[in-house]
Structure 1
């Protein structure tokens, strides 16, 4: 039987992407969705944060919340 090399804690299954970080106002790699702001009378907003901003501001990605 083949042995797996996948480490469950490596974060490989975590969605990642390149996009605009709403906290430092620049494009960055590894941005994650942080917040969705829905507005009934107009367009809503979404906020993404890169890894350094998530660490610096203690942000929890939307997908990781209970």
Structure 2
């Protein structure tokens, strides 16, 4: 049997940063994208990624 080397898919949530694609203890919600059918999409970012990319937490967006 052939081995596959696909990366594990991490569930979106406050313990995961979607920008550096790794675990984080400081991730907060940045985007909540609604879709017409099916589940929506949420994206979280950790403190260093928010600072580096000037991302604004969802709760602070106008």
Tell me if TM exceeds 0.5: yes
**Structure 1 unaligned spans of 5+:** 1-17
**Structure 2 unaligned spans of 5+:** 1-13
Q: CA RMSD in A?
A: 1.1
Q: Which has the higher contact order (CA 8 A, sep 6+)?
A: 2
Asked which structure has the greater CA Rg, the reply is 1
Provide TM-score, normalisation by structure 1.
0.68
Aligned length: 49
The structure carrying a bigger strand percent of its residues is 1
Provide TM-score, normalisation by structure 2.
0.73
TM-superposed deviation, 1:53: 0.2
